[in-house]
Amino acid sequence: MLNRRLFSAFAAVALMAFGSTAAVAQDKSIVVASTTSTQDSGLFDHILPLFKDKTGIEVKVIAQGTGQALDTARRGDADVVFVHAKAQEEKFIEEGFGVKRYEVMYNDFVLIGPKSDPAGIKGTSDITAAFEAIRAKQALFVSRGDKSGTHSAELKLWKEAGIDIDAAKGEWYRDIGQGMGAALNTAGAMNAYVLSDRGTWLSFKNRGDLEIVVERDKRLFNQYGVMLVNPEKFPTVKAEFGQSFIDWLVSPEGQGAIAEYKIDGQQLFFPNASRDPS
């Protein structure tokens, strides 16, 4: 009787262990901290099902501004970071939070504004001159103010225009601390200017009287990079699955999937990956 009880207890423990192992084996998923632009543009809706069909790995996206996404990874709450602020990404690597940085794709920023164009900049291609005109006329401008890649790019452009935006702020400059979609909605409601990535703008439906007023300046180039969160710092990182996602993004198949994504015939992102990390 005792032997049977011992056997039954052992069997129960073994079954629990097997069930736990099976559950872990079935959990083929990773968390990717990324930007609102990759999510709001619809790119992830296009490429993630293709990646899952290929590998069986499910990708769960946390869409935030770049600064917030990197902070999420610094807490060990993500396996991969896919963002667009190179200086911040390089700092993330230098601090030991990421393993390697791979360039994946690019698009560009565009300056959006009301059709009435109170700053008189529509059709120009000098972005710093446009910022100077907005400041001079104190035309309404919406800033994301969320430490995102787009916000970082905006602050850099004010600086290149010779404007200390912290000192120059007034009622004309609205810092909302929100994502790209919210910034575009706010600009539409206020008839204000706003800097946007082209991908989110092309997918944005609630345009109202907004349109692109300045584009094609080389300073509006917008590069995206991807990094595996360092598993030596965070043992919970699913390094194998995370690296599989990175490898797929920079592979011909992943790059082709990115290039295929279009809205109304317009390509939103342009693959430019190198298999060698930067």
Distance CA 106, CA 268 (A): 9
pLDDT digits (tens, 9 = 90+) for 134-192: 999 999 999 999 999 999 999 999 999 999 999 999 999 999 999 999 999 999 999 99
- pTM, 2 dp: 0.84
**CB-CB neighbours of 236 under 10 Å:** 9
The whole-number pLDDT of residue 104 equals 98
Q: Locate the domains of the chain by residue range.
A: 29-107+223-271, 108-220
Average pLDDT over residues 199-217: 94
Architecture of domain 108-220: 3-Layer(aba) Sandwich (3.40)
Integer CA distances (angstroms), 122 to 84, 119, 150, 217, in order: 26, 8, 21, 13
The answer to whether domain 29-107+223-271 and domain 108-220 are alike in fold is: yes
Q: How confident is the model at residue 21 (pLDDT cuts 50, 70, 90)?
A: very low
Integer CA distances (angstroms), 138 to 79, 130, 144, 166, in order: 43, 12, 18, 14
Tokens of 246: 């990175």
DSSP 124: B
Decide which of 3.40.190.10, 3.50.50.60, 3.40.50.10420, 3.40.50.10470 is the CATH code for 29-107+223-271: 3.40.190.10
Check: CB of residue 233 under 8 Å from CB of residue 73: no
Distance CA 247, CA 218 (A): 29
Q: Which residues pair with 222 in a beta bridge?
A: 107
pLDDT digits (tens, 9 = 90+) for 170-183: 999 999 999 999 99
Q: How confident is the model at residue 222 (pLDDT cuts 50, 70, 90)?
A: very high
The whole-number pLDDT of residue 20 equals 43
pLDDT digits (tens, 9 = 90+) for 48-58: 999 999 999 99
Tokens of 98: 């990421």
The whole-number pLDDT of residue 275 equals 64
The whole-number pLDDT of residue 274 equals 73
Q: How far is CA 250 from the centre of its chain?
A: 16
pLDDT digits (tens, 9 = 90+) for 225-254: 999 999 999 999 999 999 999 999 999 999
The whole-number pLDDT of residue 278 equals 66
